[in-house]
Structures are given as C-alpha cells and as structure tokens.
Amino acid sequence: MTAVRSPALNLAPALSLDSGDRLTRDEFHQRYCTRTDIKKAELIQGVVYVASPLRTAQHGIPHATVIGWLFAYVSPHAGLRVSDNATVFLGPDSEVQPDACLIATPTRGGNARLTDDGYITGAPELVVEIAASSASYDLHDKLEAYREAGVPEYIVWRTVDQAFDWFELHDGIYVRREPDAKGVIESRLFPGLRLNVTKLLAGDNTGVLAELRRPSRQRARRTAES
C-alpha cells in the first residue's frame, strides 16, 4: 500500500480524553497518542467515544472468529489484507478502530492507503464491528460515519441479540442484505467471501470455514452467462 504523511505529533503530557468530548481529528489523535492508559478510543463525527472493558463471550471470541474467517479468505488472494483493531483516519472528523476490516491494495483498486507511520487513511472496502445489541453506537453514529466515508460493505455482529447485520452501500444509502435460504450471504465486492450466518450464530466454526471453500455463486453465474 502507498504510504502518505499523517499529522505531525507533539507528544506533550497526557491530555484529557473522555466520552462526549468534541474535538477535531487532529486534536483527538494528539490526545489519544498521549494516553497510554486508554486502550481504545474513537472519534465519530467529532464526538469522542472511550471504550468500556470487553467480555470474552460477548466480544473476545466473536472477534477472533471474524478475524479467522477473513484471514482464511484473504490468504489465497493476492492484494487483500485483513486489519485487526487498527486506527483508521476515516474522514475529517472521524478516527475509528474497527474490530476488523478488509482492505484491497491500490493494485486491486483499493481506496485506503497507509500513512508513513502505518495508520490506515480512507475507507476500507469492508468493515466488521462486534456489538452487544442494536442499542450500540455501531448501528447508529458509527454506521453513519462509515456511510458518509463510502465504506462499501459494513457488517455488525450483535452478540447479545444473536443477530447479524450485513449492509451494502447503494447510491449513498446502506441496504441490509438478508441470508439466502441456506443462511448464507456472499459479498458482492469479494466473490467467494461467503458467510453462513446460521452456522456462525450456532458457534459452528467448522461450518463457517467450510462455506469459504464452496464455489463462488457469483463466479458460477458469470460463467453461465458468458
């Protein structure tokens, strides 16, 4: 990925950073970099959100499952990268740390770039967030930030609700994708990135990975039409 320059830092003594603060992205990044006691904070449309402690069953295990699913997909595909909980300069007033994202390199037509010190800038092609329920800001403020930034596919796994939301950007609006009769959703942007939502929610990780090995329906349709 092509490196670009990120904002210069002046690492002064730790500055306050609390949920609800209203900051510019440069102010937020400056403060975040001084706060070694804060493991995760985000700026969503100019408003600060400091993360709470995370539980294993509701977040840690689902997070690991998503990373494993994406890594299994990108491994045989050149030009694709999976990022885990890394900072993304999403826009002029948003700096986020998505639980997982899939990025295409410039040679694959990707939108995101790396800054010279290793941060992602721009919209990843696909973002996944692990949320407790529909009340989470992942389905409200953060969804709006991803929509405005032009993230093509946005996924939210609501672990307490035992539900899964897969959004696809159409004409600037997120449209929810529904699983097919077999419980499967396949990415339109990444052929073969298939998720059996039914098996995922049942904790059948073997079935989730097996779905990736099935032929892409999109490729099959294109072959039949050619």
- How many whole angstroms separate alpha carbon 214 and alpha carbon 207? 11
pLDDT higher than 80, residue 13: no
Amino acid at 154: Y
Give the model confidence (pLDDT) of 19-57 as tens digits: 999 999 999 999 999 998 998 999 999 999 999 899 999
How far apart CA 119 and CA 131 sit, in angstroms, is 23
Quick one: DSSP state of residue 8?
P
Paired tokens of 51: 């993360």
Closest CA to 71 of 219, 212, 218: 212
What are the strands of the beta sheet with 126-131, ordered from one edge? 80-83, 100-104, 126-131, 153-158, 163-170, 173-177
Question: What residue ranges do the domains of the chain occupy?
Answer: 11-53, 54-225
Strand order across the 88-91 sheet: 3-4, 113-115, 120-121, 88-91, 94-96, 41-44, 47-50
The structure tokens listed for 54 are: 């995370």
Lowest pLDDT segment from 7-11, 71-75, 95-99: 7-11
d(CA 216, CA 162): 26
- pLDDT the model gives residue 215: 82
Question: Between residues 218 and 125, which one has the greater pLDDT?
Answer: 125
Residue 100 CA to residue 86 CA, distance in Å, equals: 8
Inform me whether the pLDDT recorded for 224 exceeds 50.
no
User: Who's near 166: CB < 8 A, 6+ residues apart?
Assistant: 153, 154, 155, 176, 177, 185, 195
pLDDT in tens, 85-144: 999 999 999 999 999 999 999 888 899 999 999 999 999 999 999 998 888 899 999 999
Query: Can you read off the two tokens belonging to residue 55?
Result: 């539980």
161's tokens: 């609700």
Q: What is the mean pLDDT of the chain?
A: 90
Q: Contact, 99 vs 108, CB < 8 A?
A: no
The confidence score (pLDDT) of residue 183 equals 96
The full length of the chain comes to 226
Question: Which pLDDT does position 225 carry in this prediction?
Answer: 45
Kindly report the CATH number that applies to the domain delimited by 54-225. Answer: 3.90.1570.10
Instruction: Establish how many alpha carbons lie within 13 A of residue 185's alpha carbon, considering only the half-sphere containing its beta carbon.
Output: 17
